[in-house]
Structure 1
Amino acid sequence: MHTANNLERMRTRAVISAYLGWVMDGYDALIVTPIMPLLGQLFFPGPYSLLGGVSTLVATLIGRPLGSVIMGYVGDRFGRRVGLLVTVLGYSLSALAIALLPTYLAIGTLAPISLLILRFLQGIFLGGEWGPGTALIMEWSRWRRELTSAFVQSGYPIGVVIATLVYALFMGAVGPMEFNNYFWRVYIATGAVVALLAFAVRSRLVESPLWYRPRANPLALLFRQGSRWLGVGVLFTGGLLMIYYSTYLIYSDFLAHVLHEPGLIPGVMLMSTIAAIIAVLLSGPLALVINYRWLIIGTLIASLAYAPFALLLQPNFINLVLLAFIENFAMGLVPYVLFDKFETHFRASGLGVSYNWGLLIGGWAPMLVVLMTPMSLGMILMMGIGVLLAIIGTLALPRRSR
Structure 2
Amino acid sequence: MDDDKDTYRETAHETCIGDRMSQAIVNTRQPGRAATAAFIGTMIEWYDFYIYATAAALVFGELYFPSSDRFVSTMASFATFAVGFFARPLGGIVFGHLGDRIGRKKALMTTLMMMGAATVGVGLLPEYSKVGMLAPVLLVLLRVVQGIAVGGEWGGAVLMAGEHAPQGRRTFFASFAQLGSPAGLILSLIAFRAVTSMDKADFMSWGWRVPFLASAVLLIVGIVIRLGVNESPEFERVKESKRTAKLPIAEVLQSSWGLVLLCIGANTIGIAGVYFTNTFMIAYTTQYVGVSRSLILDCLFAVAIIQFIAQPLAAWLAERMGGARFLKCAALLAMISPYPMFMLVQSGAAVPMVIGIAIAVICMASFYSVIAGFVSGVFPVRVRYSGISLAYQVCGAIAGGLTPLVGTWLAHRYTGQWWPLAVFYTCLAGISLLCIVALDARRATHAEHAESVGAM
Q: TM-score, normalised by structure 1?
A: 0.93
Alignment of 1:229 onto 2:259? yes
Of 305, 316, 326 in structure 2, the residue corresponding to residue 285 of structure 1 is 316
Of 261, 264, 270 in structure 1, the residue corresponding to residue 295 of structure 2 is 264
Counterpart-to-counterpart distance in 2, 1:296 and 1:210: 26
Counterpart-to-counterpart distance in 2, 1:215 and 1:150: 26
Aligned equivalent of 2:123: 99
Counterpart-to-counterpart distance in 2, 1:390 and 1:163: 27
Aligned equivalent of 2:53: 33
Ranges in structure 1 where 5+ consecutive residues have no aligned partner:
none
Identify the range of structure 1 (155-164 vs 375-384) with the bigger mean alpha-carbon deviation: 375-384
By how many angstroms is 1:126 displaced? 1.0
Identify the range of structure 1 (44-53 vs 370-379) with the bigger mean alpha-carbon deviation: 370-379
Aligned equivalent of 2:172: 147
State the structure with bigger RCO (CA 8 A, min sep 6), 1 or 2: 1
In structure 2, the CA distance between the partners of 1:247 and 1:266, relative to structure 1 (3 Å rule), is: closer
Q: What are the equivalent positions in structure 2 for 1:74-89 lying under 5 Å apart?
A: 74-89=98-113
Alignment of 1:113 onto 2:143? no
Paired residue type of 2:115? Y
Counterpart-to-counterpart distance in 2, 1:15 and 1:149: 7
Alignment of 1:368 onto 2:406? yes
By how many angstroms is 1:265 displaced? 2.1
In structure 2, the CA distance between the partners of 1:357 and 1:287, relative to structure 1 (3 Å rule), is: same
- The answer to whether the Cα contact below 8 Å between 1:218 and 1:346 also exists between their aligned partners in 2 is yes
Identity %: 22
Counterpart-to-counterpart distance in 1, 2:277 and 2:59: 20
Of 427, 438, 448 in structure 2, the residue corresponding to residue 385 of structure 1 is 427
Paired residue type of 1:42? L
Alignment of 1:320 onto 2:357? yes
Q: What are the equivalent positions in structure 2 for 1:336-351 lying under 5 Å apart?
A: 336-351=373-388
Counterpart-to-counterpart distance in 2, 1:204 and 1:144: 22
Paired residue type of 1:87? T
Counterpart-to-counterpart distance in 1, 2:380 and 2:331: 29
Counterpart-to-counterpart distance in 2, 1:72 and 1:242: 22
Counterpart-to-counterpart distance in 1, 2:38 and 2:58: 32
Counterpart-to-counterpart distance in 2, 1:23 and 1:353: 21
- The answer to whether the Cα contact below 8 Å between 1:243 and 1:382 also exists between their aligned partners in 2 is no
Alignment of 1:158 onto 2:183? yes
Identify the range of structure 1 (105-114 vs 192-201) with the bigger mean alpha-carbon deviation: 192-201
Counterpart-to-counterpart distance in 1, 2:345 and 2:181: 28
By how many angstroms is 1:283 displaced? 1.4
Counterpart-to-counterpart distance in 1, 2:221 and 2:334: 37
Aligned equivalent of 1:357: 394
Of 196, 205, 208 in structure 2, the residue corresponding to residue 171 of structure 1 is 196
In structure 2, the CA distance between the partners of 1:215 and 1:128, relative to structure 1 (3 Å rule), is: closer
Report how many aligned residue pairs link the two structures.
401
Q: What are the equivalent positions in structure 2 for 1:290-309 lying under 5 Å apart?
A: 290-309=321-340
- The answer to whether the Cα contact below 8 Å between 1:239 and 1:358 also exists between their aligned partners in 2 is no
Aligned equivalent of 1:219: 249
After TM superposition, which residue ranges in structure 1, 4 or more long, deviate above 4 angstroms?
A: 399-402
By how many angstroms is 1:75 displaced? 0.7
By how many angstroms is 1:359 displaced? 1.7
Counterpart-to-counterpart distance in 1, 2:304 and 2:54: 12
Q: Bigger radius of gyration, 1 or 2? A: 2
Q: What are the equivalent positions in structure 2 for 1:173-192 lying under 5 Å apart?
A: 174-192=198-216
In structure 2, the CA distance between the partners of 1:14 and 1:278, relative to structure 1 (3 Å rule), is: closer
Identify the range of structure 1 (304-313 vs 258-267) with the bigger mean alpha-carbon deviation: 304-313
- The answer to whether the Cα contact below 8 Å between 1:154 and 1:277 also exists between their aligned partners in 2 is yes
